[in-house]
């Protein structure tokens, strides 16, 4: 795979990461044996908006004030990159309006994540969501109203389609889910500046791609701009592209985006007979695995005509859930962020105590 491709600055798409260097753009993320070099999200191939007051930036300033200059510099690699803003509140209109207005003033495109589907996350670490189908329709309408006629890229409901395909949903929720997603696509796409990518899980989840493709069609992917892969997960970009290209082939050549925020070292190895790999019984490989690394910074220079962008949907440093001594899902975990941001050999402890995880410095 050679060269680079830049897509027009239209609304809609997700950011990700990979261990790759693209011609014409410095987009190198570190993995085993690779030197660290992360460029700013303001590069010519990154049209995405960088949140000026994110948690990583605040952490960098705190550590700098405390004399932890090396740690501050490492975490600043996260702060300088455009990451998604997740819409999860009861009424997302004001949040969506504020983010898109700020991004418009900066002449950049914000990445938003719609994450409020009923029976969200099948009752696991990120459980919640709208209480009813009607409430969800109203919620999506409020998000669309907040965006207005401004540009935005929206990742629609991480895990929602894959969880439907996995069979974890109660019967009533399963019956409604795909139709609700299709309605959400239509509501968001009615806004002329919005592009929508329906989440399709990750390369290690749904092996029956015929089932998954059928679900995506029912979820409105044909009316969307494409689908999204690897959100909040760790599969490498080459593995994800192979999976994504096959899925795209089942969907008539649909485009897709890849979350590369934490895939620099790939996923946590499976447990071996020697006990190496997943170091905590019962802690899933996707839940705050130790030893992971940042991936390629967000860019539209992907080198693949079907991959619209590498994006950072998962915000590096925010917990996946209360496993491995971590705070609840979505909470900032400073030492885990440091572990992701530092090159191999310099990483912070993989499992700091909870007290360290929940305090700013």
| Active-site residue set | 121, 159, 320
Instruction: Specify burial of residue 224 (Cβ count, 10 A radius: 0-12, 13-18, 19+).
Output: buried
Q: Is-contact 286 232, C-beta < 8 A?
A: yes
Quote the radius of gyration of the chain (alpha carbons, Å): 19
Q: Is-contact 5 300, C-beta < 8 A?
A: yes
Q: Which residues, 6+ apart, have CB-to-CB distance to 123 below 8 Å?
A: none
Residue ranges of E strands in the chain = 85-87, 111-114, 152-156, 194-199, 226-229, 256-259, 307-311
Compute CA distances 347 → 71, 83, 244, 356, whole Å. 10, 22, 31, 16
Neighbours of 65 (CB within 10 A): 10
Q: Is-contact 119 77, C-beta < 8 A?
A: no
Compute CA distances 36 → 150, 151, 156, whole Å. 35, 32, 31
Say which DSSP state 90 is in.
Answer: S
Instruction: Specify burial of residue 148 (Cβ count, 10 A radius: 0-12, 13-18, 19+).
Output: middle
């Amino acid at each position: 795979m050679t060269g680079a491709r830049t897509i027009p600055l239209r609304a809609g798409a997700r950011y990700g990461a990979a261990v790759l260097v693209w011609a014409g753009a410095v987009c190198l993320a570190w993995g085993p044996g690779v030197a660290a070099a992360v460029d700013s999200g303001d590069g010519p191939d990154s049209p995405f908006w960088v949140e000026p007051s994110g948690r990583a930036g605040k952490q960098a300033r705190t550590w700098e004030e405390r004399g932890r200059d090396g740690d501050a510099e490492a975490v600043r690699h996260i702060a300088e990159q455009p990451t998604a803003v997740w819409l999860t509140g009861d009424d997302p209109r004001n949040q969506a309006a504020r983010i898109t207005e700020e991004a418009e003033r900066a002449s950049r495109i914000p990445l938003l994540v719609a994450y409020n589907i009923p029976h969200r996350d099948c009752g696991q670490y990120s459980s919640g969501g709208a209480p009813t189908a009607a409430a969800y329709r109203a919620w999506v309408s409020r998000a669309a109203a907040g965006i207005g006629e401004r540009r935005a890229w929206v990742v629609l409901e991480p895990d929602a389609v894959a969880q439907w395909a996995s069979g974890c949903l109660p019967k009533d929720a399963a019956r409604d889910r795909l139709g609700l997603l299709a309605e959400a696509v239509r509501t968001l796409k009615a806004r002329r500046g919005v592009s929508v990518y329906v989440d399709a899980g990750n390369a290690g989840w749904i092996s029956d791609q015929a089932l998954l493709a059928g679900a995506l069609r029912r979820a409105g992917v044909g009316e969307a701009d494409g689908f999204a892969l690897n959100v909040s997960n760790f599969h490498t970009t080459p593995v994800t592209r192979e999976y994504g290209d096959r899925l795209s082939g089942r969907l008539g050549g649909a485009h897709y985006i890849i979350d590369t925020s934490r895939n620099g070292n790939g996923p946590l190895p499976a447990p071996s007979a020697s006990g190496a790999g997943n170091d905590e019984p019962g802690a899933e490989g996707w839940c705050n695995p130790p030893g992971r690394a940042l991936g390629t910074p967000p860019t539209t220079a992907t080198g693949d005509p079907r991959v619209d962008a590498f994006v950072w949907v998962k915000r590096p440093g925010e917990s996946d859930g209360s496993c491995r001594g971590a705070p609840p899902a979505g909470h900032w975990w400073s030492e885990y962020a440091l572990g992701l941001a530092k090159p191999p050999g310099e990483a912070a402890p993989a499992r700091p105590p909870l007290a360290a995880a929940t305090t700013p410095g």
